Amino acid sequence: MPVPKWSSPKEPLCRSPAKYILMCDEVRQEINGKILILGLYTPDMSIPQAPFLLGSLTFFAVLESDRPGNFQSRFEIQHLDTGQKIAEGMGAFGIPKPGMGVAPIQLRNLTIPNGGTYVFSLKIEGQSDPITYSFNVILAPPQQMGFQPGMPPQFLPPNR
């Protein structure tokens, strides 16, 4: 029996769709198909003050499906201690053939209200459990930071 070209919205992606999620500033795809990950957080984020405006924050979800399809999704970012949602949205992504697929979710002009632990949650239609990624936001004034992974370029120390 041939595999249907597109699965219906009610069909689950698969039993365990998440391979991994990366958090970075931006994701780009070259003309030859290669993916560029820019500004990878490993895994925490340092900010010089709160609140802090991030120009761009991207969650790069690598997923696995046993069939091709278009899949509806919802996401949110929540501060773990306060329960405050700092972002939420919805959209869709496509997986062109069975196997691995990607779903980059880019947020522009996101305000991080304070330090602490945050949880990114991705709910794919038809899946019972969301896919989650936790990260810490660390407050470190510029004079204490030096070079920290995930630091915006304007806060890097001058070249010596």
Long-range (24+ apart) CB contacts under 8 A made by 148-157 are 148/46, 149/40, 149/41, 149/42, 149/44, 149/46, 150/39, 150/40, 150/41, 150/42, 150/44, 150/45, 150/46, 151/46, 152/54, 152/55, 155/48
* CATH, residue 103: 2.60.40.10
Mean pLDDT of 16-29: 86
- Whether 1 maps to a domain, the answer reads no
Query: 159 - beta bridge partners?
Result: none
Task: Domain count for the chain, please give it.
Answer: 1
Collapsing DSSP to helix, strand or coil, 31 comes out as coil
Q: In whole angstroms, what is the distance from residue 28 CA to residue 104 CA? A: 9
Is the pLDDT reported for residue 129 higher than 50?
A: yes
Is the pLDDT reported for residue 22 higher than 90?
A: yes
- Whether 159 maps to a domain, the answer reads no
- Whether 154 maps to a domain, the answer reads no
* Residue in 58, 61, 130 with CA at minimum distance from that of residue 101: 61
List, edge to edge, every strand of the sheet that includes 99-112.
Answer: 35-40, 18-29, 52-65, 99-112
Mean pLDDT of 87-113: 92
Percent of the chain with pLDDT over 70: 77
> What's the pLDDT at 151?
55
The Cα-based distances of 100 to 35, 105, 115, 146 in angstroms read: 14, 16, 34, 38
Between 76 and 9, residue with greater pLDDT:
76
Mean pLDDT of 5-32: 72
* The two structure tokens encoding residue 15: 């039993």
> What's the pLDDT at 143?
62
- Whether 48 maps to a domain, the answer reads yes
pLDDT grade, residue 8 (50/70/90)? very low
- Whether 42 maps to a domain, the answer reads yes
Between 66 and 153, residue with greater pLDDT:
66
- Whether 44 maps to a domain, the answer reads yes
* The two structure tokens encoding residue 141: 């004034």
Q: Whole-model pTM? A: 0.78
Is the pLDDT reported for residue 12 higher than 90?
A: no
- Whether 6 maps to a domain, the answer reads no
CB atoms under 10 Å from CB of 67, counted, come to 17
Q: Residue 133's domain spans which residues?
A: 18-141
Is the pLDDT reported for residue 1 higher than 50?
A: no
- Whether 12 maps to a domain, the answer reads no
